[in-house]
Amino acid sequence: MPETPTREIFLHFSTAMELVFYAVAAVASVVFLYGFWLRYRKIRRGRSEHRFDDLVGRIRRAVVQIATNATVRKGDRFAGLAHALIFWGFVVLFIGTCIVAIDHDILRWFGLKMLQGTFYLWFSLTLDVFGVVFIAGLVLMIVRRWVMKPAQLDYKRADEQGGQVDRSGYATDDMIFVWLLLVIAVTGYVVEALRIAETMPAFERWSIVGWVLAGPLSGLETETLVNWHVWTWWFHGLCALAFVAYIPFSKMMHIFTDAVNLVFVDERAARRLPPLPPAPDGNGDGDGEPKKKAAPRMGYSRITDFTWKELLDLDACTKCGRCHVACPARAAGTTLSPRDLILDLRSFANEAFGTPEWLTQRFGRESKWPLRDGGTATALDTDVATDVIRPETLWSCTTCMACVAACPVGIEHLTGIVQMRRHLVDGGTLDDNLQGALMNLGDYGNSFGESPKKRGRWTKGLSFKVKNAKKEPVDTLWFVGDFASFDPRIQGLSRTVAEVFHTAGIDFGILYDGEKNAGNDVRRVGEEGLFEMLAEENIAALDAATFEQIVTTDPHTLNTLRNEYPDLGADYRVLHYTGLLAERFASGALSVSRRLGHRVTYHDPCYLARYNGEIDAPRDVMRAIGLDVVEMPRCGANTFCCGAGGGRIWMDTSNEQKRTSEQRIEEALELDGVRVFVTTCPKDYTMYTDAVKTLGCGDRIVVKDLIELVAEAIEPESVEAAASDEAGAAG
Amino acid sequence: MNIVVPIKLVPDLVEELEIDDDGTDLDRDFLSLRINEFCDHALEEALQLKDAHGATVTVLALDGDETDKVLYTALAKGADRAIKITGIDGAATSRQTANAVANALEGIDYDLVLTGVQAADDRDGQLPVLLASRLGIPHVSVVSEVAIDGDAIHIKKEYAGGVTATLRAKPRVVLGVQAARETPRYAPVSRVRQIMKEAELDEVEAGDVGAGATSSVRRMFTPDKGEGAEMIEGDADAIAAKLAEILNAKRS
């Protein structure tokens, strides 16, 4: 007797049992919606921020990223595969459940039915296949987390707080998440198998997994099968409803928060920092007095200073630990871990806003955590930049952007760090050395405390006079920067750059005393007012000059000129010197008279490669002059920081147990036959020459700026002069 | 407690100093001025007292090129009032400055005057001494810490040879500050700029400041190189190499 392939929903259920199920489902839904609303209410407490431009484009980009799992796969293929399997398994099974619900709860009342015939067969096959996909992903994740145990999944804090922080809640939450899903998936198959085993209809071969499992069960008594089916069904159903109810209170919430976070991500985050946040509204300060002229907030000191997107960032974190292992400050052994920073702020925000979070980190009585005794009465007044995140931790950041780049869910750690630093600067909580540098920058426009008039003095000794761009038009305006102008170790390199530009026929000039520090690192230190002042003075000088493009040897300068000055009204084409030279080699304006032929490795500067995607040009130049480039494991946009960025070069860095510059040189020493470590950033040159000296490995590796090698390759006669000059500096 | 901090501006040594055509003074056309470091410490000590005990801090400075910036910076750091003393040349001598400040103080209610113990251009004496004598009140110099206890002012004064004394004074008194208890604080540029938009600098006339110094300069010149000093010339590497050589030779 031919049967129409279909199945009965609520098989063997009495009406009362069905109603009980719907009641439980309703309760689970209410709990879910309540939890969801609590989270939404928390995010709404954030300051407003406009992220709704090009909403269609944002959604399209996020949908593609989510569908392909591209951001999860990036940098971790195993986790990417496992996640993609779980993701697609979940999505398809969820759609399947929705179809059942629509069929049974809506269409049925209109006398319609989708789940029958051919559609039912394909439905069964698809869901069974994706159930396997889902389980495979879960098993891979279980293996990864509890067998492979990669370093990034270790929840040990960067600052131990004397063992006062208990993070076992996180581990429990992970366990519930993955095992609960696995139990739901497996019991789903068991329910299916028990149902099929009762009558073994031939068309159920399409439910491949259920059919296979049903075989051995088919010999059992019908009554037993019916009993088992009902009980397993309830177990499966209750687990699924528990999952739904649990979502907003657990890591599972990332399903929603991460999707939304990826929609509203700022693709220019960190590259272009926001100006000071506007003043709080008149009565926001609590004293009720109307402000005569509202001054902007000097960065973030309260949790309510964070924008809704920044609060969403906190909830978006899945503790994947990629930022934790990428962070140079963490690698150096400071108290900063971008992951811990986000998680601490999240714990604090939840406490301050009264949002429940069941399985989380717990701070012991002896810890310095401000709310350890449940003192939420004053939570909103707590100084987050001192009492939640410690100043030392905030000052440890090199702003290398590795965390932002590594984050698969669009968290923008760096903006919050700088906003909190702004508050520290405003309150005068800063390192003496840094204060000295800032005072010099304010007084003289350079961190060296040199007279601004001496800024162009490095040009003395060149074979020609460098044009003064304040006085005559030039094609290319060279924005030299502080280190290249004043540091005796770098001035020789600047002269070599000038000679090479001259040889290449580049019509260039500099602003002499019209140039000030461009302010990239000043801004990242959190001295926004000083940044604005420097930028205004530079922009006035640039506006008064006539030129086609700007070139600089300093990636930090490049970043602010290219990404931040446009917002202040100065939108110019900005090149790194390696880009300019690559153009000249390509066009034939520069030619090589001597191919060098040694094996070198190249360190990508953070601000060049990661911030600005300038990865090819330096390599093109190295190839053009005949160098054989051997890459370090961390290269290109995945480069490792020298430790000098974000103002660290001006600070006391004795909280670093093992300097990142030394770690990087050791990474290069691992390479076979590489004796030259090439950089293209003045700060890198300074840091790495120091590191080689400290490590005492000067006989095995020598640090060179690419310009020295270019000079050597293009003009043999003048090499002696430049080379002997530099050899002296390097030795 | 009302604290007054007279601030001196001195030539910035970052710029190369040049002697004028007469050969008796610096060429002031090419000078840039900055706050006298000791006065910066005096201001810091005053602000520390304000933070600890509550006080009103008034800063004073002679009108000149950089005066506005220095006074606004002091306000940004936490001073309550800033007064510019007009009608007097920035190149005034210490005596003239003392007279100008004393005249300005006639209109100000004050208990304590904190100022820099000395300045690089104190040719005819240090300001604290001259000011105290002009005001007819006591003075203590080389002060490194001040504490207020009710009506009493406790003053830590340094002597040569590592000896320190704690003195007690009653208002009014002039203190020449050697060093504040902490590094002078940083004034964030945003705050300075905000203050510039919002705050006003008060102005008072210098009045009669007298004839100036009781001595005159016959010749101003850069010191001749002495026989005993060997000047090492060359770039940083050459200098470093030479220094290493000399130190190695002396080590034996």
Residue A720 confidence class, pLDDT cut points 50, 70, 90:
very low
Nearest CB among B15, B186, B194 relative to A295 is that of B194
More confident residue, B81 or A374: B81
**What is the percent of chain A where pLDDT is above 90?**
80
- A window 279-318, beta carbon within 8 A of B: 292-293, 295-296, 298
What does the pLDDT look like over B157-198, one tens digit per residue? 999 888 999 999 999 999 999 999 999 999 999 899 999 999
pLDDT of A378 > 80? The answer is no
Q: Do B15 and A439 touch (CB under 8 A)?
A: no
Residue B183 is nearest to which of A425, A432, A449, comparing CB atoms? A432
In a domain, A458, yes or no: yes
> In chain B, what residues touch A428 (CB-CB under 8 Å)?
185-186, 188
DSSP string, B5-63: EEE-EEE-TTSPP-B-TTSSSB-GGG--EEE-HHHHHHHHHHHHHHHHH--EEEEEEE-
Asked if A728 and B192 come within 8 Å (Cβ–Cβ), the reply is: no
Q: What is the pLDDT of residue B90?
A: 66
Q: Which residues on B lie below 8 Å from A453 (Cβ)?
A: 15
Do A458 and A598 reside in the same domain of the chain?
Answer: yes
Pairing between strand A508-510 and B9-11?
Answer: unpaired
Domain range for A602 is: 432-730
pLDDT for A282: 45
**Tens of pLDDT, residues A672-705:** 999 999 999 999 999 999 999 999 999 999 999 9
Within 8 A by CB and 6+ apart from A25, the residues are A241
Give, in order, the Cα–Cα distances in Å from A570 to each of A272, A522, A562.
14, 18, 9
Q: pTM of the prediction? A: 0.91
Q: Find the helix or strand (DSSP H, E) in which A678 lies.
A: strand A676-679
Confidence class for position A288, pLDDT limits 50, 70, 90 = very low
How sure is the predictor about A287, in pLDDT bands with cuts at 50, 70 and 90?
Answer: very low
* pLDDT given at position A377: 52
User: Between chain A and chain B, how many beta carbons pairs sit less than 8 Å apart?
Assistant: 56
CB-based contact B42:B114 (threshold 8 Å): yes
CATH number reported for the structural domain that contains residue A334 in this entry: 1.10.1060
A723 vs B64, residue with greater confidence: B64
- For chain A, the distance separating the N- and C-terminal CA atoms, rounded to the nearest angstrom, is 94
Of the candidates A435, A451, A728, the beta carbon closest to that of B237 is on: A728
Element (H, E) at A629: strand A628-629
Residue of A nearest to B66 (CA): A443
What is the pLDDT confidence band of residue B93, given thresholds at 50, 70 and 90? confident
pLDDT of the residue at A354: 86
Domain membership flag for residue A61: no
> CA-CA distance, A11 to A379, in Å (whole number)?
53
Ordered domains of chain B (ranges, CATH): 2-205 (3.40.50.620)
Pairing between strand A508-510 and A476-478? parallel
| Alpha carbon of residue A574 to chain centroid | 25
Residue B193, chain A, CB below 8 Å: the answer is yes
pLDDT at A294: 63
CB contact under 8 A, B235 and A488: yes
Q: Is the pLDDT of residue A283 over 70?
A: no
CA distance A72 to A367: 34
Is residue A584 over pLDDT 90?
A: yes
Q: Please state, in angstroms and rounded to a whole number, the distance separating the CA atoms of residues A415 and A488.
A: 33
Contacts of A430 in chain B (CB under 8 A): 186
A615 is a domain residue: yes
Q: Judge if A370 and A224 occupy the same domain.
A: no
Confidence of residue B31 (pLDDT cuts 50, 70, 90): confident
Identify all chain A residues contacting B236, using CB atoms and an 8 Å cutoff. Answer: 488-489
Query: A276, A291, A297, A298: which to substitute to probe chain B, counting the most B Cβ within 10 Å?
Result: A298
CA distance A604 to chain B (A): 28
A455 lies in the same domain as A422 = no
Classify residue A71: in a domain, yes or no. Answer: no
Give the residue from A392, A426, A460 where a domain finishes. Answer: A426
Please check the confidence at residue A429 and state whether its pLDDT lies above 50: yes
| A432, A533, A728 member nearest B189 (Cβ) | A533
Residue B72: DSSP 8-state:
H
Query: Over the stretch A464-521, which tens digit does the pLDDT of each residue have?
Result: 999 999 999 999 999 999 999 999 989 999 999 999 999 999 999 999 999 999 999 9
- Does one domain contain both A413 and A439? no
pLDDT for the residue A614: 97
Inform me whether the C-beta atom of residue A430 falls under 8 Å from chain B C-beta atoms. yes
Q: Is B5 exposed, middle or buried (0-12, 13-18, 19+ CB in 10 A)?
A: buried
Q: How far is B37 from chain A (nearest CA, A)?
A: 13
Q: Do B190 and A443 touch (CB under 8 A)?
A: no
Residues A346 and A381 in one domain: yes
- pLDDT, residue B241, reads 92
Put simply, whether A530 touches B (Cβ < 8 Å) is yes
Reported as a pLDDT band with limits 50, 70 and 90, residue A14 is: confident
pLDDT at residue A390 in the model: 92
What is residue B216's predicted lDDT score, i.e. its pLDDT? 82
For residues A497 and A549, membership in a common domain is answered with yes
C-beta atoms of B190 and A528 within 8 A: yes
Residue A616 lies in a domain: yes
Tell me whether residue A449 is exposed, middle or buried, using C-beta atoms within 10 angstroms of its C-beta: 0 to 12, 13 to 18, 19 or more.
Answer: middle
Least confident of A573-587, A708-722, B21-35, B161-175: A708-722
Q: Point out the residue among A295, A451, A530 whose CB comes nearest to the CB of B14.
A: A451
**A550 within domain boundaries:** yes
Going by pLDDT thresholds of 50, 70 and 90, the confidence category of residue A374 is: low
DSSP A606: I
- Of A207, A231, A249, the last residue of a domain is A249
- Whether residues A582 and A617 share a domain: the answer is yes
Nearest to B188 among A292, A426, A444 (CB): A426
pLDDT digits (tens, 9 = 90+) for B203-245: 999 888 887 767 788 898 888 776 777 788 888 889 999 999 9
- The answer to the question of residue A25 being in a domain is no
Q: How much is the pLDDT for A728?
A: 43
Q: Are residues A222 and A307 in the same domain?
A: no
Tokens representing residue A327 in the block: 């962070």
Residue A403 contacts residue A409 (beta carbons within 8 Å):
no
CB A621 within 8 A of CB A706: yes
Average pLDDT, chain A: 91
Picking from A375, A406, A426, the residue at the C-terminal end of a domain is: A426
Per the structure, the count of domains in chain A is: 3
Neighbours of B151 (CB within 10 A): 9
Confidence at residue B15, expressed as pLDDT on a 0 to 100 scale: 87
Query: pLDDT, tens digit, for every residue of A181-235?
Result: 999 999 999 999 999 998 888 898 999 999 999 989 888 888 999 999 999 999 9
CB B102 within 8 A of CB B232: no
8 Å CB contact of B188 and A425? yes
Same domain, yes or no, for A422 and A440?
no
Residue A177: closest CA among A97, A261, A255: A255
pLDDT tens for B102-137 read 999 998 999 999 999 999 888 888 999 999 999 999
- The beta-carbon neighbor of B189 closest among A450, A529, A728 is A529
Contact indicator for A331, A663 with CB cutoff of 8 Å: yes
Instruction: Judge if A439 and A556 occupy the same domain.
Output: yes
Average pLDDT over every residue of B31-44: 94
Peptide bond into A58 cis (omega under 30): no
pLDDT at B140 (0 to 100): 95
| Residue found under tokens 């000078």 | B31
Kindly state whether residues A707 and A573 are assigned to the same domain: yes
**CA A202/CA A179 separation, integer angstroms:** 33
Residue B166 is given by DSSP the state E
Q: Do A442 and B183 touch (CB under 8 A)?
A: no
Give the start-end residues of each E strand in A324-379.
362-363
- Give the model's pLDDT for residue A729: 44
Compute the C-alpha angle B180/B182/B184, nearest 5°: 80
Interval A79-86 mean pLDDT: 97
How many whole angstroms separate alpha carbon B206 and alpha carbon B37? Answer: 23
For residue A689, the tally of other CB atoms under 10 A from its CB is 22
Residue A509's H or E segment, with its range, is strand A508-510
Is the pLDDT reported for residue A539 higher than 70?
yes
**Cα separation, A126 vs A123, whole angstroms:** 5
CA distance B2 to A334: 44
Contact A299, B188 (CB under 8 A): no
pLDDT interval class at B252 (50, 70, 90): low
A607 and A711 belong to one structural domain: yes
CA-based nearest distance A435→chain B, Å: 7
